[in-house]
Structure 1
Amino acid sequence: MLSAKNLFQEILDDDESFRLFCSIAASGESQGGWENGRIAALVPESQRALAPRITRHGADEDKHGRIFNALLKKRGLTPAEVPGDTDYTMLLERHGIGLAHARLGREEPLTERDIITYLAHSRVTEQRASEQMRLLRKYFADHPDLGRAVKMISNDEDNHLAYCHEELLRFAAAGHGRTIQRILRECALAEIGVYRDVSLAVMDHMGRILGWSRARAAVLAAGIHAVYAYERAVGWRRMVSLAPPERRDALGGPAVPAPEFA
């Protein structure tokens, strides 16, 4: 039977597909770590109190990248080259979402509007990350190799999402509500398109590695397109709502180390 759990299990059981899966994940997390580190360094004076939280966010992302690389090493595998069509972070940038790497590479302080853009972009992408990790946690929390990693990363992603809600609500209370909602909507609609394209690309690469039949590949592609159709119609709304999180000041302390992985 074709199910999300069986699909993930098949990918995890094969060395080459597992290698690609972890490499894509590690690359994305490492890029996120760099971005947050640069944003923390360039925060405007009016928002300097945010810098430690942004730094914590980046440290978590770096840690996740190390965890995925450590999982590869544990199986005696080396990182694979990440295909360009699976690079979620860079594809979002090409769609004008978030702060461009070229902007972050300059030694020019960000503006308050830049910080709002960063938080709105993170609110959307952390929603996706939180949902994906909860799915993996549901199926693999007790897995002997993946269990601890999945639970740790899932908890971190939930913290990141809570932090985005809290900070965006603070900016909304300061009079930026309309700007926040406009940027959130733009980010969400772009993200669901990029997520569809990346999902199709990942499944194409996995299918070739695992020798999937054309029929199976077609079923998976149809499922991805169905998810996109739902998200384009109504599902995007979950990515733009803001509510006080249950986890308050979720990034108020230092990053939790992961010595068992890295």
Structure 2
Amino acid sequence: MLSAKSLFQEILDNDESFALFCSIAAGGESQGGWENGRIAALVPPSERAMAGKISRHGADEDKHGRIFQALMRKRGLKPVPVPPDTDYTMLLEKYGIGLSHDRLRAEQPLAVEDIVVYLAHSRVTEQRAAEQMDMLRAYFADHPDVGKAVRMISHDEDNHLAYTHEELLRLAAAGHGRLIQRTLRACALAEIRIYRDVSLAVMAHMGRILGWSRARSALLAAGIHAVYAWERFAGWHRMVSLRMPERRNALGGTAPTAPEFA
């Protein structure tokens, strides 16, 4: 029976597909860590209170990258090159979602409008990340090899999502509401398209590694297209709504320095 759980179990059980999965995930998390670190360094004076939270966000992303690296080491595996068509983070930048890397490499302080762009981009992508980790936690929270990593990353992604809601609501109250909604909508519509394309690419690579039949690959591709159709019609709205989270000040304080899980 074809299900999300059986699909991920198959990827988990094969060394080559597991190395590709972890390499893709580690690369994206490490890139996110760098981006947040640069944004924290360039925060405008009026938003300096956010710098610590942005740094914490980046530290969490770096930690996640190390976790995926550690999962590979536990299996005696080495990272593999990430195919460009599976690089979600870089494709988002290519299509103008979030702050460009050229902008982040410059030493000029960001404007408040840049912080809105950063937070809107994060709100959309953290929604995706939190949902994916919720699914993996439901299936693999007690798995002897990956369970602890899944629980830890899922907890962090929930914190990141709560943080973006709270900060965007604060900026909306300060008069940036129209810019926030306009930017959220643009980010959401672009993200669902890029997520569809990346999902198709990842499944194509996994199918070659795992020897999936044409019929199975076609069924999975049809499912991905169906999800995109729903998101394009109505599902994107969940990525642009804002509500005060139960977890307040989720990224307050400094990043924890607990030892890695593995």
Partner of 1:62 in structure 2?
Answer: 62
Deviations 1:110-141 (A, max 9, x none): 00000000000000000000000000000000
Using the TM superposition, give the Cα deviation of residue 255 of structure 1 relative to its aligned residue in structure 2, in angstroms. 1.9
In structure 2, list runs of 5 or more residues that go unmatched. Answer: none
Change (3 A) 1:12 1:128: same
Kindly report which structure 2 residues correspond to 1:169-248, keeping only aligned pairs within 5 A, or say none: 169-248=169-248
* 8 Å CA contact 1:42, 1:110 repeated in 2: yes
Offset at 1:28? Answer: 0.2
Q: 5+ residue gaps in structure 1?
A: none
CA distances 1:165-189 after superposition (whole Å, capped 9, x unpaired): 0000000000110110000000000
TM superposition score normalised by structure 1: 0.99
Aligned to 2:163: 163
What letter matches 1:254 in structure 2? T
The share of aligned pairs that are identical, in percent, is 78
Contact 1:66 1:261 in 2 (8 A): no
Whether contact under 8 Å (2:33, 2:57) holds in the other structure is yes
Does 2:173 align with 1:141? no
Kept after mapping to 2: 8 A contact 1:137/1:150:
yes
Asked whether the 8 Å contact 2:184–2:240 carries over to 1, the reply is yes
| Aligned amino acid, residue 164 of structure 1 | T
3-state SS, counterpart of residue 64 of structure 2: helix
Q: CA deviation at 1:44?
A: 0.5
Shift of the 100–9 alpha-carbon distance from structure 1 to 2, 3 Å rule, reads same
Whether the 8 Å contact between 1:40 and 1:52 is mirrored in structure 2 is: yes
Task: Measure, in 2, the Cα distance between the counterparts of 1:259 and 1:78.
Answer: 21
Report the alpha carbon displacement of residue 156 of structure 1 after superposing the two structures with TM. Answer: 0.2
Q: Distance in 2 between matches of 1:22 and 1:181?
A: 34
Give secondary structure in 2 for the equivalent of 1:135: helix
Change (3 A) 1:260 1:48: closer
CA distance in 1, matches of 2:166, 2:255: 18
1:117 lines up with 2:117 in the alignment: yes
Indicate the SS of the match to 1:208: helix
The residue number in structure 1 matching 2:27 is 27
Q: Distance in 2 between matches of 1:231 and 1:15?
A: 32
Q: What is the Cα deviation at residue 95 of structure 1?
A: 1.1
Please give the secondary structure, in 1, of the residue aligned with 2:2.
Answer: coil
- Give the deviation of 1:254 after TM superposition: 2.0
Kept in 1, the 8 Å contact 2:148–2:261? The answer is no
TM-score in terms of structure 2 length? 0.99
* 1:68-107 equivalence runs, <5 A: 68-107=68-107
Find runs of 4+ consecutive structure 1 residues off by over 6 angstroms: none
The separation in 2 between residues aligned to 1:243 and 1:95, in whole angstroms, is 28
Q: Determine the C-alpha separation between the residues in 2 that align with 1:52 and 1:257.
A: 15
| 1:260, distance to aligned residue in structure 2 (A) | 3.8
Distance in 2, Cα, partners of 1:153 & 1:256: 13
- Residue correspondences, number: 262
